[in-house]
A = this chain, B = another copy of it.
């Protein structure tokens, strides 16, 4: 090419930006290489603890873990359950808990998923006590789907704004009468607590946590590498109306 390299590169950038804007994707991501993250790793690695239990919902766990797994040079993941070993999802496929609650390391983020198993766990005092202890000891507490029902049952969400799965709304909200439940929200952040609505919403919330930790460009970079269209507006929730809730 006879173009001056700076001009040529700038033109390519502008063309790429235009293509992305036409596709309805965000501006900042357009100017970034998908190869290199926009922010280099700094400081010690963070530790994310994912709580698991029999009857967890697959995507509640593995949607967020896919996004955090894109930056596993700066965040490690540990799966925590009653005891280490296999744990079966609602629909059959299993995962393996790394440690018991008693052996959980110090966490930077704890995440509580949903699933049909939450119906049992809200009546399991030992589980609720373990979740409560973990949440109290951790500076950032996140829930996906009916995970907020479990956390509500511990009392920690009393007076706190939160959301939950739309299909299970009546049951989930009944687990915490003092929680300020918001039905129309992709996710809700209030102090150290962040809760997402049903299943897939956990992916968008995980990206919001990545944005909080490393900036919004980093969250877009992660989403783009996963070929995922991040819904980055927490108030954009078409599923509330669909369930007669918003």
Contact = CB atoms under 8 A, between A and B. Distances in A.
Interface of A: 16, 19-20, 23-25, 29-30, 34-35, 50, 57-59, 61-63, 65-66, 69, 72, 76-77, 79, 86, 89-96, 165-167, 197-201, 224-229, 231, 238-239, 241-244
A89 B198 CA distance: 24
Contacts of A57: 66
List the number of copies, as a whole number: 2
Nearest to A231: B229
Contacts of A76: 92
A179 B56 CA distance: 39
30 contacts: A20-B241, A34-B167, A34-B242, A34-B243, A35-B167, A57-B66, A58-B62, A61-B62, A62-B63, A66-B199, A69-B92, A72-B91, A72-B92, A76-B92, A77-B92, A77-B93, A79-B93, A86-B96, A93-B96, A94-B95, A94-B96, A167-B225, A198-B226, A198-B227, A199-B225, A199-B227, A199-B228, A200-B226, A200-B229, A201-B227
